[in-house]
Amino acid sequence: MLRKRIIPCLLLKDRGLVKTVKFKDPKYVGDPINAIRIFNEKEVDELILLDIEASMLKQEPNYQLIAEVAGECFMPICYGGGIRTLAHADKLFGLGVEKISINAAALADISIITDIAKKYGSQSVVGSIDCRKGFFGGYSVYAASGASNTKRSPVEWAQTLESAGIGEILLTSIDQDGTQRGFDAGLIDSVVKGVHVPVIACGGAGAVSDLTDLFDQTGVSAAAAGSLFVFHGKHRAVLISYPKVSTLGRR
| Positions marked active-site | 130
User: Between helices 63-72 and 86-94, what is the axis angle to 10°?
Assistant: 40
Contact 52, 11 (CB under 8 A): yes
Q: State the DSSP H helix or E strand holding residue 139, giving kind and residue range, or none if neither.
A: strand 139-143
3-state secondary structure of 160: helix
Burial 217-232 (b: 16+ CB within 10 A, else e): ebebbbbbbbbbbbbe
Contact 140, 134 (CB under 8 A): yes
Neighbours of 140 (CB within 10 A): 17
Pairwise CA distance, residues 24 & 40, whole Å: 29
Neighbours of 116 (CB within 10 A): 27
Contact 122, 100 (CB under 8 A): no
Pairwise CA distance, residues 79 & 32, whole Å: 13
Q: What is the greatest pairwise CA distance in the chain?
A: 47
Q: Which of 118, 140, 143 is nearest to 131 (CA)?
A: 140
